[in-house]
């Protein structure tokens, strides 16, 4: 009966995901009633209204999160997801905010990360109760609006004393089961960047978010000498960087605009991308800029460059559970004679935070980098023998016929924000997903597979009354 209810909702489910994707919910400047920007608040309001239409009890939690709930019972099980998304970036072949249905897939920023799974959670819960199943625990879908910028929304949810789940999962990673998540430390650091000499950079900016490998950076170089500008453009045409990168130049009067392109990747897997700032620093070494601007590119290449393991920063490490530390440079911006950039690190679950922060802050100090901002998230580890892990393994194996192995990831999810929660889905093993990249998309077939799995997991965790 439950499976039939889910299948009957297919068209409505896909249409709802499309509608959610069309809301541009990138975090922005706070305003009254919108702590993380107008886009995330708009998507929160839409989701709450949609859930109410479906028959859920709902609540807006301080304009930063919300929940939709069905059923009765003293205890509650939950599916957690987020409505905010990273910026769209460039290189799309479709409208990133169009929610287009093409080639059996829904396309758009956030369809996988993480609006699609949130909407599936609502439909899965509704199908359970439409099927007449009586559960021992309430079923709640919790959705926040700040996951991509630190998950402060879920921290606020907990601070306000909202119900915490007896068991739950967040479909914001991959299958089978994520029982370990690396710790995360993100620094924003800066260096002096005052111009010196006739050749000077007047603008430097790139990247979309700290947790996305920088895919493009633009530098504007001013020089009144025609022969120098010609030398820059000639060098740009001849530059050969890593496969997949490119450099274009435009000589306009007394300035040359350089646009370096790399390739985006999620901050937890920076080795899959090409960092555009590393490419630009490699190119700039040949121009021999003087003073602080030249020193910045030299320091960047020496301390970060193309590395993704933190070795030159003094923090390379690994463990058997979760693998090596990763380091991702995501955003760079020059202003007021200083240049700042972000370093997003994911460290092994068995490591102590101070094993990362101590050495890297000493490296910053020795090299003259000022720490402007730092954010942190502790590692997560759920033992294989826990009831939650065993319940997820049972359903995954029954639904897919595949072994439900346990995985460790570098990504940080809502599972870290409250007890009794792990990441589970929505990407199946071996799939080439496009989270945080251009042309993010999700097949309708996989959307429906996830709906069946999520519904049965919620039933397993909430337990049918006998």
Q: What is the pLDDT of residues 117-130, one digit of tens each?
A: 999 999 999 999 99
Q: Taking 90 as the threshold, does the pLDDT of residue 464 lie above it?
A: no
Q: Rounded CA gap, 205 and 342, in Å?
A: 12
Dump pLDDT digits (tens) for 308-326.
Answer: 999 999 999 999 989 999 9
- Please check whether residue 116 is in contact with residue 17, taking contact to mean a CB–CB distance below 8 angstroms: yes
Q: Rounded CA gap, 285 and 336, in Å?
A: 23
Q: Rounded CA gap, 373 and 187, in Å?
A: 6
Check whether residue 252 and residue 119 sit in a common domain.
no
Check whether residue 373 and residue 384 sit in a common domain.
no
Dump pLDDT digits (tens) for 381-407.
Answer: 999 999 999 999 999 999 999 999 999
The mean pLDDT of the chain is 95
Check whether residue 18 and residue 156 sit in a common domain.
yes
Buried-exposed string 319-336: b where 16+ CB fall within 10 A, e elsewhere? beebbbbbbbbbbbbbee
> With bands split at pLDDT 50, 70 and 90, how would you rate the model's confidence at 197?
confident
Dump pLDDT digits (tens) for 215-256.
Answer: 999 999 999 999 999 999 999 999 999 999 999 999 988 999
Coil, helix or strand at residue 135: strand
Q: Taking 80 as the threshold, does the pLDDT of residue 411 lie above it?
A: no
Check whether residue 198 and residue 170 sit in a common domain.
no
- Please check whether residue 82 is in contact with residue 27, taking contact to mean a CB–CB distance below 8 angstroms: no
Spacing of C-alpha 222 from chain mean position: 36
Q: Taking 90 as the threshold, does the pLDDT of residue 347 lie above it?
A: yes
Check whether residue 174 and residue 200 sit in a common domain.
no
Q: Taking 70 as the threshold, does the pLDDT of residue 339 lie above it?
A: yes
Check whether residue 124 and residue 201 sit in a common domain.
no
Check whether residue 318 and residue 393 sit in a common domain.
no
Spacing of C-alpha 391 from chain mean position: 27
Catalytic residue among 84, 216, 223, 460: 84
Q: Report the CATH number that the domain containing residue 334 is assigned in CATH.
A: 3.30.70.360
Please say which residue of 377, 405, 434 terminates a domain.
Answer: 377
Q: Rounded CA gap, 169 and 201, in Å?
A: 48
Q: Give the residue numbers spanning the domain of 286.
A: 184-377
Interval 118-144 mean pLDDT: 97
Q: Which of 407, 410, 397, 393 is nearest to 346 (CA)?
A: 410
Check whether residue 250 and residue 137 sit in a common domain.
no
Q: What is the pLDDT of residue 377?
A: 86
Please say which residue of 344, 377, 410 terminates a domain.
Answer: 377
Q: What is the pLDDT of residue 466?
A: 57
Q: Report the CATH number that the domain containing residue 428 is assigned in CATH.
A: 3.40.630.10
C-alpha distances in Å from residue 328, one per residue of 128, 245, 376, 466: 41, 17, 15, 51
Q: What is the pLDDT of residue 358?
A: 97
Catalytic residue among 113, 147, 148, 399: 147
Q: What is the pLDDT of residue 52?
A: 98
- Please check whether residue 408 is in contact with residue 379, taking contact to mean a CB–CB distance below 8 angstroms: no
| Residue 147 annotated in active site | yes
Q: Which residues contact 255 (CB under 8 A, 6 or more apart)?
A: 202, 220, 221, 222, 223, 229
Altogether, the residues listed in the chain come to a count of: 466
- Please check whether residue 454 is in contact with residue 3, taking contact to mean a CB–CB distance below 8 angstroms: no
Q: What is the pLDDT of residue 82?
A: 98
Spacing of C-alpha 404 from chain mean position: 24
Dump pLDDT digits (tens) for 417-444.
Answer: 999 999 999 999 988 778 888 999 999 9
Check whether residue 238 and residue 346 sit in a common domain.
yes
Q: Taking 80 as the threshold, does the pLDDT of residue 270 lie above it?
A: yes
Q: Taking 90 as the threshold, does the pLDDT of residue 260 lie above it?
A: yes
Q: Which of 204, 328, 325 is nearest to 266 (CA)?
A: 328
Please say which residue of 351, 377, 403 terminates a domain.
Answer: 377
Q: What is the dihedral of CA 360, 366, 367, 371, to 10 degrees?
A: 50
Q: What strands lie across the sheet with 370-377, from one edge to the other? A: 246-252, 255-261, 216-222, 200-206, 326-335, 338-347, 183-192, 370-377
Check whether residue 171 and residue 249 sit in a common domain.
no
- E-assigned strand segments in 83-210: 101-102, 105-107, 138-144, 167-170, 173-174, 177-181, 183-192, 200-206
Q: Rounded CA gap, 142 and 417, in Å?
A: 12
Q: What is the count of structural domains for the chain?
A: 2
**Farthest-apart Cα atoms in the chain, separation:** 85
- E-assigned strand segments in 338-440: 338-347, 370-377, 380-381, 406-409, 421-423, 426-427
Spacing of C-alpha 331 from chain mean position: 14
Percentage of the chain beyond pLDDT 70 is 100
Q: Taking 70 as the threshold, does the pLDDT of residue 412 lie above it?
A: yes
Check whether residue 455 and residue 365 sit in a common domain.
no
| Residue 84 annotated in active site | yes
Q: Taking 60 as the threshold, does the pLDDT of residue 141 lie above it?
A: yes
Q: Which residues contact 450 (CB under 8 A, 6 or more apart)?
A: 117, 120, 171, 425, 426
Check whether residue 35 and residue 149 sit in a common domain.
yes
């Amino acid at each position: 009966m439950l499976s039939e209810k889910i299948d009957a909702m297919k068209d409505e489910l896909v249409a709802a995901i499309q509608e959610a994707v069309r809301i541009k919910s990138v975090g922005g400047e706070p305003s009254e009633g919108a702590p993380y920007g107008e886009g995330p608040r708009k998507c929160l309001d839409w989701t709450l209204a949609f859930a109410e239409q479906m028959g859920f009890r709902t609540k807006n939690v301080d304009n930063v999160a919300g929940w939709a709930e069905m059923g009765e019972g003293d205890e509650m099980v939950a599916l957690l997801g987020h409505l905010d998304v990273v910026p769209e970036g460039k290189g799309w072949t479709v409208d990133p905010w169009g929610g287009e249905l093409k080639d059996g897939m829904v396309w758009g920023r956030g369809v996988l990360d993480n609006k699609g799974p949130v909407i599936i959670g609502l439909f899965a819960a509704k199908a359970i109760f439409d099927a007449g199943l009586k559960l021992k625990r309430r079923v709640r879908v919790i959705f926040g609006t700040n996951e991509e910028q630190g998950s402060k929304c879920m921290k606020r949810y907990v601070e306000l004393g909202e119900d915490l789940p007896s068991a739950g999962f967040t479909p914001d990673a991959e299958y089978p089961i994520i029982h370990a998540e690396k710790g995360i430390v993100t620094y924003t650091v800066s260096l002096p960047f005052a111009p010196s000499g006739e050749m000077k950079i007047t603008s430097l900016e790139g990247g979309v978010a700290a947790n996305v490998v920088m895919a493009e950076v633009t530098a504007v170089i001013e020089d009144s000498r025609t022969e120098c500008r010609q030398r820059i453009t000639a060098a740009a045409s001849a530059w050969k960087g890593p496969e997949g990168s490119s450099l274009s130049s435009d000589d306009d009067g007394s300035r040359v605009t350089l646009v370096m392109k790399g390739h985006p990747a999620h901050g937890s897997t920076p080795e899959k991308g090409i960092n555009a700032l590393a490419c630009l620093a490699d190119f700039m070494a040949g121009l021999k800029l003087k003073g602080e601007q030249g020193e910045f590119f030299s320091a960047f290449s020496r301390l970060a460059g193309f590395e993704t393991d933190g070795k030159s920063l003094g923090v390379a490490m690994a463990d058997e559970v979760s693998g090596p530390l990763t380091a991702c440079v995501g955003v760079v911006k020059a202003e007021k004679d200083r240049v700042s950039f972000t370093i997003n690190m994911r460290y092994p679950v068995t490591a102590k935070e101070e094993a990362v922060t101590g050495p890297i802050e000493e490296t910053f100090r020795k090299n003259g980098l000022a720490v402007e901002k730092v954010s942190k998230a502790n590692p997560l580890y759920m033992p294989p023998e826990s009831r939650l892990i065993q319940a997820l393994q049972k359903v995954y194996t029954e639904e897919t016929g595949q072994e439900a192995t346990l995985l460790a990831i570098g990504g940080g999810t809502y599972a870290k924000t409250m007890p009794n929660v792990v990441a589970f889905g929505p990407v199946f093993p071996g799939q080439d997903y496009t989270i945080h990249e251009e042309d993010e998309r999700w097949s309708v077939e996989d959307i429906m597979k996830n709906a069946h799995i999520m519904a049965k997991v919620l039933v397993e965790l909430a337990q049918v009354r006998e």
